[in-house]
Amino acid sequence: MEELLNVANLVANKLNSRFDGPPEQRQILQALKVQEEAGELAQAVIGALGVNPNKGHSHTWDDVRAEACGTAFTALVLLHMLGGDPAWFLAEHLHTIRTKAEGWEATA
């Protein structure tokens, strides 16, 4: 997890150093980039299922996995761009998710 956050921080710093606009604009653009990546993930799922009549089976499930990683990583870069302590925030959020998931009832 530490290496993942370190690389996300590196990428966020590199992107920030190349951008002349205000921080809020960088954050908005990175949030839009997360949405773009999620769209590519959706496209890969559609392609893996072969449900696009124009393209058929255009993707594999490995493509879906790669797009999921890209989407998750892009969101981590955004977390770094938003400031504060990304590792703490992520840990707190994961704790909340774990607590909720542990309360779910099993389904048959």
SS (H, E, C) 13-57: HHHHHCCCCCHHHHHHHHHHHHHHHHHHHHHHHHHHHCCCCCCCC
Q: Is residue 108 part of a domain?
A: no
CATH number of the domain to which 78 belongs: 1.10.287
Domain that holds residue 48: 2-102
What is the percent of the chain where pLDDT is above 90? 94
> Is the predicted pLDDT of residue 50 greater than 90, yes or no?
yes
pLDDT band at 88 (very low <50, low <70, confident <90, very high): very high
Note whether residue 107 is domain-resident: no
Say what percent of the chain tops pLDDT 70: 99
Among 42, 44, 66, 70, which residue's Cα sits nearest to residue 57? Answer: 44
Instruction: Please check whether residue 14 lies inside any domain of the structure.
Output: yes
Indicate the number of domains in the chain: 1
User: Does any domain span residue 29?
Assistant: yes
* pLDDT interval class at 107 (50, 70, 90): confident
Residue 52 lies in a domain: yes
Q: Which of 83, 77, 65 is nearest to 31 (CA)?
A: 77
Q: Give the global pTM.
A: 0.89
Judged against a pLDDT cut of 90, whether residue 5 lies above it is answered with: yes
Q: Is residue 88 part of a domain?
A: yes
In a domain, 32, yes or no: yes
pLDDT tens digits, 6-30:
999 999 999 999 999 999 999 999 9
